[in-house]
Amino acid sequence: MMVRIGNFLFHYRNALFPVVYALLIFKSQPLLASYRLAAIPGFLVALTGQLLRAVTIGLEYIIRGGSNRQVYAEKLVQGGLFAHCRNPLCVGNLLLLLGVGIASNSVVFLSVAVPFFLFAYWTIIAAEETYLRNKFGQEFDDYCARVNRLLPNLSGLAQTLSGMRFNWRRLITKEYGSTYYWLAGITLVTLKNIWLNGDYRHGGSVEAALWLSLALVTVGYAVARFMKKRGLLKEVPKLVS
């Protein structure tokens, strides 16, 4: 049952997940007395998730979107951060949405969206593991015996990071869109809270800084998209001596 639900959510996640994120728009009972107290820790949690995703993608990449919106893998990736956690991208995603939820200071989002995404990713992981076990058999079982599903094992991490090349071109190509969306989202929900609390009347420097940040990340998104479309981010093949 969990596997069937996971395959369904994996297939329709691009349509379903934004609907849940729409809860950020609505006014809610606040989590903390001051939205300012929620914004900073929320941003830091989300940033941790983004850094985890960035290192994962920059070091060793897997086909995140599957094939034809179905769970798919060409090979069993075990290098990079996948040597320390079987699902580092899912962990990064959960930290991102938790951070945005905290920054939103919304009890509704945290009590509805976060449990939904925890369930969704758990079922998707179940579907992926079933697929990988059917395709790779004992190799996947051995991998599961060595590496935790979600809790990272930091032993040997320094050696992993020093022994691999970081592919920043691939990182920008694969991640510029999702990075922009969460940065813009966390900025907009903070601006929403400023508006709902009436602080916009004071014309504070915080509001101005947020609008400037939104403009800068939008420019960054446009530049990254331009570079990708023009082929400026194509990976340069390594010379073999």
CATH number for the domain harbouring residue 107 = 1.20.120
The backbone region for 203, taken as left when phi is positive above 0, alpha when psi lies in -120 to 50, beta otherwise, is: left
Query: Tokens 């990075």 correspond to what residue?
Result: 179
Whole-angstrom Cα distance, residue 132 to residue 108?
36
Whole-angstrom Cα distance, residue 104 to residue 185?
9
Band of residue 63 on the pLDDT scale cut at 50, 70, 90: low
Task: Identify whether 233 is part of a domain.
Answer: no
% of the chain beyond a pLDDT of 70: 91
The backbone region for 137, taken as left when phi is positive above 0, alpha when psi lies in -120 to 50, beta otherwise, is: left
Q: Tell me the whole-structure pTM to 2 decimals.
A: 0.88
Task: Identify whether 158 is part of a domain.
Answer: yes
Give me the chain's average pLDDT, please: 89
Task: Identify whether 199 is part of a domain.
Answer: no
Domain assignment of residue 54, given as a range: 2-165
Task: Identify whether 205 is part of a domain.
Answer: no
Task: Identify whether 42 is part of a domain.
Answer: yes
Number of domains in the chain: 1
The tokens for 67 are 């094939």
Q: Which of 21-25, 58-62, 226-230 has the lowest mean pLDDT?
A: 58-62
The tens digit of pLDDT for each residue in 83-130 reads 999 999 999 999 999 999 999 999 999 999 999 999 999 999 999 999
86, 62 in Cβ contact below 8 A? Answer: no
What 8-state DSSP symbol labels residue 237? P
